[in-house]
Amino acid sequence: MNFQFTNPLWLWLLIPALGIVGWLAWKSDVQISPWRRWLALSLRIMVVLCTIFALAGIQWKRPQEGLNVFYLLDRSDSIPSPQQEAARNYVNQSFKQKTEHDKGGVLVFGTDASLESSANPAIDLQKIHAVVDTERTDIGSAIRLATAAFPETGQKRMVLLSDGNENIGDAITAILAAKPLGVTMDVVPLGAVRGNDIAIQKLSLPNNLKKGQTFDVKIFAQADQPQKATVRLYRNDQYLDSQVIELAAGKNLFSFPQTLDTPGFYSYDIQLEGANDQLAQNNRAVNFTYVRGNPSILVISSDPSSDAPLAEALRQSRIDVKVTDLSGFPSTLAEMQSYDTIFLSNIAAGDMGSDMMRLLESAVRDFGVGLVCLGGDQSFAAGGYRDTPLERALPVDMELSSKKVLPSGALVLVVHATEFPNGNQWARDIAFAALQALGPQDEMGIVLWNGTDNWLFPLQKVGDKKSLGRLIAGMNPGDMVSFQNVMAMAHTDLKKSNASLKHMVVFSDGDPTAPSTEQVESIVADKITVSTVMIGGHVSPTTMTWMAEVGRGRFYDVRSPAQLPQIFIKEAAVILKSAIFEKPFKPRLAQNSELLRGISAQEYPLLQGYVATTAKPRAEIPLVSEQGDPLLAHWQYGLGRSVAFTSDAKAKWAQNWLDWPKYRQFWSQVAQWSLRKVENADFTTDINVDRGEGQISVEAVDAQGNFRNFLNLETVIVSPKGERQTVRLEQTGPGHYEARFPTREVGAYLINLMETRNGQLVGSQVLGASVNYSPEFNNTEPNLNLLTRLAELGGGKVLDLKNPAVNPFTHDRLKTFQPRDLWEWMLQVAIILFVLDVGVRRIQIDAEEWRKATLNLRRALFFWKATQRPVEADEALGALLARKEKIKSALTTTPSVIQPNPDLFKPVAKPPADMPPGQSSPPQSQSQSPLAASSDSASPKQESTASRLLDAKRRAMKK
């Protein structure tokens, strides 16, 4: 058997410990027999050995059979689809040559890694189900995940099927970390060689421009070989110019001169076309720039024509104003930088969507853009702002205080499983969205079919939302047959509710049997509205449209699942209209503010309504309603300023304000206060993006040309998905500062470079960087050098995808062992032997005691009876003592006193000469006393017993 130690340093104590044990045994003066002395020494040596082996972590290397193979499949964009299919077939074919004890698993990777199947005795890879991001290749993450996924027993081998073109991570470091764990790696090269490729490496633009400034649009292109190509230039999606250029092999630089006379945001798009180019994904680049001018305001209105008075009042303040509906809302964070303030007039959260609200929040918080939100029947609490990024940016809260009692609403979702991909997860997402939009006093219920028609949870108050959220997380609706019963269940609960607004939303693909006309009319008669959402429908929407029309609700035909959460936020807002107060009131001045400068408290005209909200703790509330609710609120949110006016600025609620002489002054002062206030910092900056990482370089020089050292510079970076991170710049030279940030997503990155002094922001500069396409398309051939290096470091081989003869299950198989800890057994044995050692040294057991102990043990265990034997010394001594007690008893019961007999003390006469030699005394006379006779009669037996006792004592002393 093979043994090993996990802490072998403890073995150095073995020789000193044994030496001490031997020396103590030699010097000991304990009086025991030699055989007991040697037995005790042996036991003590074994105790020491067991204890030291336990401390050293002794293990038994148990032999194991079997080989565990993990296939690592590259699913990035650089692997053509036919080769991905060939890799899947290779897994199935090579797995057929495994032995009985072998196991296999599959792992797929791109930007990240995911397990397709863990190690098991059978693999039948018909389709890849795991989903990973394919825009990058991170081989290192795949190696680390596979290493962690291996079983503890058996030989471990990875098979990497990839082109080796990693653009994030470090595969070499990962395989070096896996090798000490007994992991080996084979590689199977994939990928295609693409010749005659051309690509745009970078499109360079100045980040900020002055009006009328001339600049160059610089294009960096790369070609595999000399050839002609056509360059086309677009600005703000409008075609400008094209040129035929000569590309040399390697890197090339071209430029287009441009002049911009109008302030605003400008996006440039460059497209490069070659006659024999085989890959179009890397032939396009996008970048953007700004031309600064007068302050600019964007007004987004649900009804732009009704907000014309507001726009005109802002223009009279010499502010550039653009009015549009929601379709004109900037789609990127970079486009929002064209405006210094954004007005939202009666815009519902469900119409904006969570992504748009998140970008707007970032524009205010991170880039100083102002925000002014106006009320209406689709804004604030009535518009579903609760728990949204927009609510976070506003100075008012959609949750009303406990003192404000509003009529509650009731919402029931009828949820039907759809044939849309990942349909049940989308059902959970929309239910969560609706739940978050409701207030604690509102009611919600979900009815579905999951084998039978039943409630996920019946109609009840939302409360703290946690318990209902847990139920939604486990929701799995099925494919119901008919709407009849589930809608009847929803109708029954809504009818019993005391809510003032009741609404039912039917979520389905449209194929269940429609309810009867009488049923829908009965629902409407009980003041319940019905909206329908048809997603991924493969039948005519007639049923869903009819239910919405008769139910006095809205019908949605959804083709993209991304629309779903916003739709259900909007539908949940139907029951939130109770937050609207439509009653004439005169605004009251609560506190002085810069926004109300020059307007007295008595001058404000009547308003016809507003949306109830609650002021946030840090907000300033200059105007309130008669009930004390915020009417005008403002605060500083990050770098920007945010204003909330809970009434409107048009004819519906502010009809009296339109003719008010100070209408223009009021809104001009609100706009001026909200405008971006940060001064532009004068820095020379450069941004480079490479291998999934961006680098910012800043040169800080003052007006006299002196370096500005020890500046406090930091930057806020917002990714294309709206994720935000803050990075501090470190000074690396005189007036030179640098910082790095990850750029794993394809798209535009917006960067706000900020200088702070004494905790105050003194300057900023908005920058941009763009990842134009996935770096998967940078390489035109597989990286065979990296793949070969990984095979060498991993102790494996480079296999052939088309030749499965050399199989990962057949070559270089090794005998493996599973370590099994024995230290607990060693400690247990040491404890037992220690007790025996003490017993051998301290306990004396002679042969008779041992015989009696074993006799009792045999009687107890086996009911064994001993054979008859002669009376021994102990029995004789017992008989003698019994005789003594009998005589003593007789003496104590005799009434008369025995008289002394003088004859007993007479000297003994010498025996006669004629006495026989064997007789020592003359015969006793008849006059001797009975006591003397009895004493004489007992003396032979007494002497025999005493002698035996003395002999036993002498034997014990010798021992």
Name the band, by pLDDT with cuts 50, 70 and 90, for residue 929: very low
Highest mean predicted confidence (pLDDT) among 494-508, 646-660, 796-810, 857-871? 646-660
Question: Is the model's pLDDT at 936 over the cut of 50?
Answer: no
Q: What DSSP letter does each residue of 252-317 carry, written as one string?
A: EEEEEEEE--S-EEEEEEEEEEETT----TTSEEEEEEEEE-S-EEEEEESSGGGGHHHHHHHHTT
**So what's the pLDDT on residue 43?**
86
- Please report the pLDDT score of residue 58 as a whole number: 85
- d(C-alpha 125, C-alpha 128), whole Å: 7
The pLDDT score that the predictor gives to residue 38 is: 85
- What's the pLDDT at 643? 96
pLDDT for res 568: 62
Higher-pLDDT residue of 728 and 916 is 728
How far apart (Å, rounded) are the C-alpha atoms in residues 170 and 144?
Answer: 11
pLDDT tens digits for range 588-616: 999 999 999 999 888 999 999 999 898 99
SS3 content of the chain, % helix, strand, coil (to 5): 35, 30, 35
Digit-coded pLDDT (tens) for 244-254:
888 888 889 98
Which residue, among 109, 120, 104, has the nearest Cα to 158 in the 3D structure?
104
Q: Are the C-beta atoms of 650 and 309 separated by less than 8 Å? A: yes
| Residue 172 confidence (pLDDT) above 90 | yes
* Sequence-ordered strand ranges (E) for 466-601: 501-508, 528-535, 552-558, 580-581, 588-589
For residues 174-195, average pLDDT: 89
In the predicted model, what is the mean pLDDT of residues 182-211?
A: 86
Residue 533 burial (10 A CB sphere; 0-12, 13-18, 19+): buried
**Could you give the CA distance from residue 695 to residue 717 in angstroms, rounded to a whole number?**
12
Q: For the segment 417-437, what is each residue's pLDDT rounded down to a tens digit?
A: 766 666 677 778 778 877 877
Give residue 184's pLDDT. Answer: 93
- Tell me: pLDDT of 587 over 50: yes
Give, as one character, the DSSP assignment of residue 590: -
Q: Write the DSSP string, 865-896.
A: -PPP----HHHHHHHHHHHHHHHHHHHHH--S
What gap in Å lies between CA 668 and CA 842, rounded to an integer? 105
What's residue 668's pLDDT?
Answer: 93
Strand order in the sheet with 2-5: 2-5, 58-64, 816-821
Q: Is 162 helix (H, G, I), strand (E, B) or coil?
A: strand
Rounded CA-CA distance 541/563 in Å is 18
More confident residue, 632 or 295: 632
Shortest CA distance to 223 belongs to which of 256, 255, 201?
Answer: 201
Mean pLDDT of 932-947: 50
pLDDT at residue 376 tops 80:
yes
Lowest mean pLDDT among 277-281, 356-360, 807-811: 277-281
Measure the CA angle with vertex 642, ends 288 and 664; round to 5°. 95
pLDDT of residue 764: 86
690 — pLDDT class (breaks 50, 70, 90): confident
Report the percentage of the chain scoring pLDDT > 70. 85
Overall average pLDDT of the 292-309 stretch: 90
pLDDT tens-digit profile of 318-338?
888 999 998 889 888 888 888
pLDDT of res. 862: 57
* Whether the predicted pLDDT of 857 surpasses 70: no
Range 454-460 average pLDDT = 90
When the pLDDT of each residue in the chain is averaged and rounded to a whole number, the result is: 83
What are the pLDDT digits (tens) for 795-831?
999 998 887 667 888 887 777 666 778 888 888 998 9
pLDDT at 533: 84
Output the pLDDT for position 893. 53
121 pLDDT band, cuts 50/70/90, is confident
* Mean pLDDT calculated for residue range 197-219: 85
Per-residue pLDDT, 926: 41
